[in-house]
Structure 1
Amino acid sequence: MKGGAMAVVGTSVLPSFLIRSVLAQATTAQANGKRLVVLFQRGAADGLNVVVPYAEPNYYQMRPTIAVQKNQVLDLDGFFGLHPAMQPLKPLWDQGHLAIVHAAGLRDETRSHFDAQDYMESGTPGVKATSDGWLNRALRAEDQGHALHHATAFRAVAMGTQLPRTLQGMIPAVAVGNVQDFNVGGRNPSEQPVSTSFEAMYGGAVDTVLHGTGAETFEAVKMLKSTDPAHYSPATGANYPKGQFGDSMKQVAQLLKANLGVEAAFADIGGWDTHQNQGNTTGQLANRLKEFSEGIAAFWRDMGDQAKDVVVVTLSEFGRTARQNGTAGTDHGHANVMFVLGGPVKGRKVYGAWPGLADEQLHESRDLAVTTDFRQVLGEAAYKTFGARNLDMVFPGAQLKSTDFLNIISA
């Protein structure tokens, strides 16, 4: 309930969004059908091995055993190449749907996972007192100037049992632990007395906190149930990987395709903190990249014709050191790589200024330098997807303007 947002756990736990009205404002994204999906790679992915600067001689000098060799990368433009484990995303690049922003990230100097994730999700680097998330504020900025109407409770959804920092705030948002387990009366309503059913308990509530919201909330739950989530069948060829991330991406696709009015969706994937035995074409990072890319590629395939109105943005709290460490891994760094995928994306291009890996070009003599503030990418996505014109609201203190965008997404 932090920040006034809503949360739903997809089990028999009482949905805490009962205490909020399901009223929102008419929105630009609802009108044009556009949706934004944000994926957070928690743990600080090694951007230099994700999108390899294989034409940079210093890359190989700094990584004698973990570098991805030139003949192993999936060439993108003659300078950069994808890690071979990301083969599922290469067709999306070739088709012009996938763009990459290298040397992007947080300009704050922190090397703390907790602080960096908090700064990125709040959108206010260096400020710990921010109470809401940038994506929630983007939806609020979208609402400015629009008339009220009865909107869906599923406007903003996150996969998981807790609402992420990114979506906390004034705009109601829903955390869905498991779409298939979501049930009006709990996991096994037939085992519960009729008097304890969701509708019986809360539909006619007279408590001042619940008053006026019980029926609306029940309608929202009923809306989700009507999609028959337990029997969802992905599109042909949409082969999601096993595991939490694959499940999350499948459920995001399911919710987007169910016509529930979802505008913003969030999912995350951990396991990127590779201090030891990182590997090169095989190993820890390769395994994580395979799952990551397979999940995104399956989602894209699953969305079918609706993919033309979807934008997916990925980010991680910071990159990793340019030089490998003494245990064949990498430590906490600075700049990283972001992916932008979607129908309106001007893909097949690596955006951003490449700072170089010479000693004098490194940040603090150890890390890839940030040349693109992550808020430039997220801000453009919010501006062009939601029509969130008030960038000062979305990213307070950033002084971000539309002229700062990299023009990755078509208007």
Structure 2
Amino acid sequence: MGITRRGFMKGGALAVVGTSTIPSFLTRSVMAEMTTAAANKKKLVVLFQRGAADGLNIVVPYQEKNYYSMRPSIAIQKNQVLDLDGFFGLHPSMASFKPLYDQGHLAIIHAAGSPDMSRSHFDAQDYMESGTPGVKVTEDGWLNRALQAEILVGKPSAFRAVALGTQVPRTLQGKVPAIAVNNLADFSVGGRGPQTSPISNAFQAMYDESSDAVLHGTGQETFEAVKMLKAADPSKYQPAAGVDYPKTPFGNSLRQVAQLMKANLGVEAAFSDIGGWDTHQNQGNTNGQLANRLKEFSDTVAAFWMDMGDEAENITLVTMSEFGRTARQNGTGGTDHGHANVMFVLGGQVKGGKVYGKWPGLANEQLNEGRDLAVTTDFRRVLGEAAYKTLGSKNLEMVFPGSQVNPGQFLNFV
């Protein structure tokens, strides 16, 4: 196999991200047991809905008259929404979210988004993952910086920051080493034979023979963590009784997040994403393209929540999408690139059962540029509160430079 140390398995079952400088945790001579978040067993899960989800049909402002006039064929009717508070209602395909909301575990932040006005998927995703809207030269991601802003008093796990996928996303790139896991069941370690992956054998051999102390340390720690994981036999993992994840890539990714967390490998931050939200044509209403994606999304998140059981008490899960969609439907039964959107926050410590944020309204004169839901809550306020209260990332200027986000601006959903 043509494998290099720095390029090892970029598109395979396990990707290890190198850093341009020696990771600080490898240079410390005196180490305590773990980081603050790990000591408190707190974990932050971030989900990205790539493609710009239609927040207006996800959490429907069904008391807004203009909502129905602007969406004659794709609106969710008043008698079809799952009522939340007498003004907003969930899309009926998200029935699995309703109990989480009613039980006070799920908070909703509407009219959230970026201050940057870009309608480019690429730019808007980059800005949201870097946490620096309008700045294209940021080298790392906000979630990596959130981990840097923790009080780090010990040797972190190789699984401290993990993404489900073939490569580490922009969100987790930076000084804190992060790994990407595509399929746990495909990664086996030690020994030889038909049950052993040639990928893992190459991984082990490469780092056993390495003379590079820094890379050897990083690789060996990761290898040891994978050995710990494999002891639980990932291929035979069984979710909690009654939990049935959707048989989709996204369903499998959150199933594996639960598996990693239950294995007590020191996961503090986990990331996954789901595409398919760019509904320019034939979006549908209670049925169709968006409805199908919403059912998969909400059923998967609800399954993860149930699967974690009592451990869910220490988890905060937050969702994000690069921007919303136009308030008016277009001529092909879809919606175009918009501005404000909706974010969900789920967790054991979350003060749910409430729609947070200032609602800007959907009257024609209230729309952004005459076409979109206006942003009233900067997405960094939501992510900043989640990082501050879950990971203990107190230095919010480090996490979101220039944003002026501070605890006084929190919505207090946690």
With normalisation by structure 1, the TM-score equals 0.92
1:104 and 2:109 are equivalent in the alignment: no
* 2:90 aligned partner, one-letter code: L
Q: Deviations over 1:160-193 (max 9, x none)?
A: 0011000000001110011111122699666789
SS in 2 for 1:67: coil
5 Å-filtered alignment, 1:318-397, equals 318-397=323-402
Identity of paired residues, percent? Answer: 70
What residue number does 1:80 align with? 88
Paired residue type of 1:335 = A
Residue 28 of structure 1 corresponds to 36
Q: Secondary structure at the match of 1:142?
A: coil
What residue is the counterpart of 1:180 in the other structure?
Answer: 185
Correspondence for 2:49 among 34, 41, 51? 41
Instruction: Call closer, same or farther: CA 1:188–1:266 in 2, change over 3 Å.
Output: farther
Q: Identify which range, 17-26 or 335-344, moves more after superposition.
A: 17-26
Match of 1:60 in 2: 68
Summarize the Cα distance change of 1:57–1:98 in structure 2 as closer, same or farther, 3 Å threshold. Answer: same
Among 157, 161, 164, the residue aligned to 1:156 = 161
Question: How far off is 1:213 after superposition?
Answer: 4.5
Q: Which amino acid aligns with 2:184?
A: V
Q: Aligned pair 1:271/2:276, yes or no? A: yes
Q: Distance in 2 between matches of 1:214 and 1:59?
A: 54
1:70 corresponds in structure 2 to: 78
SS in 2 for 1:350: strand
Asked whether the 8 Å contact 2:189–2:197 carries over to 1, the reply is no
Distance in 2 separating the partners of 1:108 and 1:32? 35
Structure 1 unaligned regions, length at least 5: none
In 2: Cα distance, 1:304 partner to 1:257 partner: 10
Q: Would the aligned equivalents of 1:353 and 1:371 in 2 still touch at CA under 8 Å? A: yes
2:127 maps to: 119
Distance in 2, matches of 1:277 and 1:182, equals 40
- 229, 234, 238: which one aligns with 1:233: 238
Instruction: Report the equivalent of 1:261.
Output: 266
Q: Aligned with 1:345: secondary structure?
A: coil
Change (3 A) 1:202 1:284: same
CA contact (8 A) 1:8 1:15 kept: yes
Distance, in Å, in 1 between the alignment partners of 2:162 and 2:390 is 16
> Structure 2: where are the runs of 5+ without partners?
1-5
User: Using a 3 Å threshold, how does the CA distance of structure 1 residues 8 and 232 change in structure 2: closer, same or farther?
Assistant: farther
Q: Is the 8 A contact 1:185 1:198 kept in 2?
A: no
The separation in 1 between residues aligned to 2:265 and 2:101, in whole angstroms, is 30
CA distance in 2, matches of 1:92, 1:191: 41
Q: More deviation in 236-245 or 45-54?
A: 236-245
Distance 1:13 1:256 in 2: 17
Q: State the Cα distance separating 1:11 from its structure 2 match.
A: 5.0
Say how many residue pairs are matched. 402
Q: 1:8 to 1:223 in 2, by over 3 A?
A: farther
1:203 positional shift = 2.5
Q: Distance in 2 between matches of 1:326 and 1:395?
A: 39
Alpha-carbon displacement from aligned partner over 1:21-72 (angstroms, at most 9, x marks no partner): 6947742111110100000000000000000000111100110110000000
Q: Secondary structure at the match of 1:99?
A: strand
The answer as to whether partners of 1:7 and 1:162 remain within 8 angstroms in 2 is no
CA contact (8 A) 1:203 1:214 kept: no
Partner of 2:3: none
Equivalent pair of 2:350/2:413 in contact (CA under 8 Å): yes
| Range 291-300 or range 183-192, more displaced | 183-192
Amino acid paired to 2:96: P
Is this contact kept in 1: 2:161–2:269, CA < 8 A? yes
Distance 1:15 1:187 in 2: 23
Q: Which amino acid aligns with 2:331?
A: G
How far did 1:217 drift?
A: 3.5
Q: 2:306 is paired with a residue of what secondary structure? A: helix
Q: Match of 1:29, SS?
A: helix
CA contact (8 A) 1:7 1:17 kept: no
1:325 CA displacement: 0.5
**In 2 relative to 1, CA 108–232 (structure 1 residues): closer, same or farther, beyond 3 Å?**
same
* Structure 2 counterpart SS, 1:180: helix
Paired with 1:125 and 1:368, the residues of 2 have a C-alpha distance of: 18
Relative to structure 1, the CA distance from residue 210 to residue 324 in structure 2 (aligned partners, 3 Å threshold; closer, same or farther) is: closer
1:250 aligns to 2:255 (yes or no): yes
Query: Is the 1:355–1:371 Cα contact (8 Å) retained in structure 2?
Result: yes
* CA distance 1:7–1:120, shift in 2 (3 Å): farther
> Residue 236 of structure 1: CA displacement?
1.1
| One-letter amino acid matched to 1:389 | K
Of 44-53 and 5-14, deviating more is: 5-14
Residues 39 and 312 in structure 1, CA contact (< 8 A), matched pair in contact too: yes
Q: 1:370 to 1:186 in 2, by over 3 A?
A: farther
The answer as to whether partners of 1:311 and 1:340 remain within 8 angstroms in 2 is yes
Query: What is the rounded CA distance, in whole Å, between the counterparts of 2:13 and 2:62 in structure 1?
Result: 51
**What residue in structure 2 maps to residue 399 of structure 1?**
404
- TM-align CA RMSD: 2.6
